[in-house]
């Protein structure tokens, strides 16, 4: 199988490389605007499907994913700057939230949800995370595998989902066979 990762995410690349999966990379650039009234799950599913369609190449199996963080009814994508990152991290401080990653392989879409709880962040901890820039290009303004991992008190579900690609559920043919 000729796998084509339709993503610029270095985290998704690293996850696939860690499994020994061979693949090409063709980031797809689409409009990621959420539609009015679009439920978070449907939004993530639509984004993954549209990214796969945009990145599809003859002779390849397209793999695309979209990860969002949902706190209450608010969808947190990537922060638009440090003040937006601060706003997001304040929302996440001391509360449980959902991380949803929708994965599209060719035209099949699966979505995985993981529940994550942050410790209550002090102003100094919040400032440290924001100023570090560690969450600048990540949904919810944090990386579980980065500095923010020190402030996560619980994960219910797939860790790799929170990183950006739920490996066990992605539907990718892995290099070993049963």
Q: What is the average pLDDT across 136-153?
A: 95
Hey, where are the domains in the chain?
Answer: 3-169
pLDDT tens digits, one per residue of 11-67? 999 999 988 888 999 998 899 999 999 999 999 999 999 999 999 999 999 999 999
Query: What was the pLDDT predicted at 106?
Result: 85
Residue 1: is its pLDDT beyond 70?
A: no
Q: How far apart are CA 114 and CA 134, in angstroms?
A: 21
Taking the model in full, what pTM does it have? 0.91
36 flagged as catalytic: no
Look at 30 and 178; give whichever has higher pLDDT: 30
Name every residue whose Cβ is closer than 8 Å to that of residue 122 and which is 6 or more positions away in sequence. none
Query: What was the pLDDT predicted at 174?
Result: 54
pLDDT tens digits, one per residue of 73-111? 899 999 999 999 999 999 999 999 999 999 999 889 999
For the chain, what is the mean pLDDT? Answer: 92
Residue that is written with structure tokens 């608010």 in the block: 74
Q: What's domain 3-169's architecture?
A: Alpha-Beta Complex (3.90)
Candidates 66, 84, 137, 178; catalytic one: 66
3-class SS shares of the chain: helix, strand, coil, % to 5 = 35, 25, 40
Smallest CA-to-CA distance from 144 within 23, 48, 45, 15 is with 15
Residue 5: is its pLDDT beyond 80?
A: yes
């Amino acid at each position: 199988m000729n796998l084509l990762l339709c993503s610029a995410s270095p985290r998704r690349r690293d996850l696939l490389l860690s499994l020994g999966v061979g693949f090409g990379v063709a980031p797809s650039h689409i409009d990621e605007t959420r539609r009015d009234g679009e439920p978070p799950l449907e939004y993530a599913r639509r984004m993954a499907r549209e990214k796969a369609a945009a990145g599809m190449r003859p002779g390849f199996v397209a793999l695309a994913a979209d990860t969002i963080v949902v706190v209450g009814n608010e969808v947190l994508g990537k922060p638009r700057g440090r003040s937006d990152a601060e706003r997001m991290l304040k929302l996440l401080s001391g509360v449980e939230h959902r991380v949803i990653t929708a994965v599209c392989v060719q035209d099949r879409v699966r979505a995985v949800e993981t529940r994550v709880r942050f410790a209550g962040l002090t102003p100094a901890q919040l400032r440290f995370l924001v100023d570090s820039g560690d969450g600048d290009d990540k949904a919810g303004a944090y990386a579980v595998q980065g500095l923010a991992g020190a402030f996560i008190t619980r994960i219910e579900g797939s860790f790799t989902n929170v990183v950006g690609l739920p490996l066990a559920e992605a539907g990718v043919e892995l290099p070993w066979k049963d």
